[in-house]
Amino acid sequence: MSGRRSNGPAWLPALCAAAIVTATGAACSPGAATFDRTRATAAVSSVLDQLHHNASVADEEAYFTLFAPEAIFLGTDATERWTVQEFRAYAHPYFAAGRGWTYVVRSGTRHCEFDPTGRVAWFDEILDNAHYGETRGTGVLRLIDGDWKIAQYHLTIPVPNALADSVVRMIQGMEGRPGS
């Protein structure tokens, strides 16, 4: 220390730090001795559930607060790579008209993993949509100021292997596509 005299036991700062982490309900914290994977998984799942709910009820503000400032959204078409600002501009007319989109996660299909620091999570989930049927969402979340934020979301339409060759030929046959 810088020559200042301590006014308490040496263990007091560590106890205070532990109390703050516990009181704020942080599932993980840089330098924390333990990482509560179950709690962190529940927190990430809650963000994803909120994302799907907010889209379904066309709540634009609540939907976009779940994204990190640098977020990227990848849609089902290869041309759909949007910053969060670009994606918001695309989605705004739908939300403004009260039309969102509904994707429902299939029970037991969401998987979540974490980096060793417990500050980055990645996930995959199978979703059902009335128009597209089975879809898959994958992505990355970052812990920012104690809140999980979506840094990347990627929506795909899984193609069964038995159909892959014919789907690839159809895509290649489209004017202006690679391989056509």
pLDDT in tens, 51-63: 999 999 999 999 9
CA distance 16 to 40: 22
Residue 54 lies in a domain: yes
Residue 3 lies in a domain: no
Domain range for residue 88? 36-173
Residue 126 lies in a domain: yes
- Whether 31 contacts 21, CB under 8 Å: no
Residue 93 lies in a domain: yes
For the stretch 82-125, pLDDT in tens is 999 999 999 999 999 999 999 999 999 999 999 999 999 999 99
For residue 64, give the CATH number of its domain: 3.10.450.50
The DSSP output letter for 117 is: T
Is the pLDDT at 70 greater than 70? The verdict is yes
Residue 8 lies in a domain: no
Residue 29 lies in a domain: no
Reference 47, options 123, 155, 158; nearest CA is 123
pTM given for the model: 0.78
The DSSP output letter for 101 is: -
Residue 178 lies in a domain: no
Q: Look over the chain and give the mean of its residue pLDDT values, rounded to a whole number.
A: 85
- Residue 35 is predicted with a pLDDT of 87
Residue 179 lies in a domain: no
Domain count, the chain: 1
